[in-house]
Amino acid sequence: MAEDSPKRRKANFNEAETEVLIEQVLKHEQLLFAAGPGRASAGQKRKVWELIRHKVNPVAACPRDVEDLKKRWRDLKRRDRSKLCRLSQGCGPPEPPALGLLLAPEELPPGPAPPA
């Protein structure tokens, strides 16, 4: 009977999961994404992703596997790139919360003068 039931999707990532994922990936960014002769082997990267999984799962709404974490990381990067594109090329007005996440206050583009 279980074979006939449709596959249910997992719950969305909550804020705590996303924060832990970002923190851990940035902590191990050099090992995971470095290019060139000094880059890590596939086995080393797999171990790092497993370590990240063990850090994320205690705060997760449902158990996450490594592929879930990699996909979430790719999605986060893609969204940030599209926001940066809109900021740098004027592809449309950026949403105010996005500015605070992507840029430090001194990096924000000058806005219109506040009303007097």
Give dist(CA 59, CA 16) in Å, integer.
6
Q: What is the pLDDT of residue 69?
A: 96
* Block residue for tokens 């974490």: 69
User: Is 91 domain-assigned?
Assistant: no
Does a structural domain hold residue 9?
no
In a domain, residue 68? The reply is yes
pLDDT at 21: 94
114 within some domain: no
Overall domain count for the chain? 1
Q: Is residue 2 part of a domain?
A: no
Mean pLDDT, to the nearest integer, of 110-114? 54
Which position has the higher pLDDT, 4 or 7?
Answer: 7
Cα 62 to Cα 48, 56, 71: the distances in Å are 20, 10, 16
Range of the domain at 47: 15-86
| More reliable by pLDDT, 101 or 65 | 65
Query: Is the pLDDT confidence value at 100 over 80?
Result: no
